[in-house]
Amino acid sequence: MFELLGNMAPGMVVVLLLRIIVPLTIFRWPLWAAVASLLIDALDCQIATAFGCSIPNYILRDKYLDLYYLTIELAVSRKWANKIASKAALVLYIWRLAGMVIFHLTGEEKWLIIAPNIFEYFFLFIVLLQFLGKETRSRFWLDSPKRLWRLLTFLFIIKTPQEIVLHSWKEPAQAFYSWIRNIF
């Protein structure tokens, strides 16, 4: 493995190590490690660029690394006492996984829009509730199918536009990110 890393550009090594090591901490600190994994995922291109390199075949590598940390989040969610939340997390994970597999087989990014990554936001929402003490082993915030559907509708509404921007409107997205970078 170290020989393989030695042949990679330093920026790629940093990105790869961050995207592999940080998600492992989700088992210990679900909320903060999931947020850190999300941020590293969002900034991996900028991290590589800071080291003077780019990420070849970015979208495929990114999706594999996404699947890695989403699978760790799924493992954590399977231990939740709230079975509504745990089962919903499994369904959302499978939905996203199906979209990723079809994308991988066809190369068509529309499948990443059809199967948006609602799982990640759902996981973050539930672990935030747990952190705040609103979702405990004996008291559930997510206590009914009606509340679940409201939450999923909300997450779908906020996540789908992001997927559209990332996987369909590439040039406007790049222009938007450039505009944001120039502000800061």
pTM of the shown model? 0.82
Of 183 and 12, the structure prediction assigns the larger pLDDT to 12
What is the pLDDT at residue 1? Answer: 47
Would you give the DSSP letter of residue 132?
T
pLDDT tens column, 23-33: 999 999 999 99
23-27, 84-88, 108-112: the lowest-pLDDT one: 108-112
* Euclidean distance between CA atoms 81 and 5, whole angstroms: 40
Of 1 and 31, the structure prediction assigns the larger pLDDT to 31
Q: Give me the half-sphere count of Cα atoms (radius 13 Å) on the Cβ side of residue 9.
A: 13
Question: Could you tell me which of 7, 2, 141 has the C-alpha nearest to residue 80?
Answer: 141
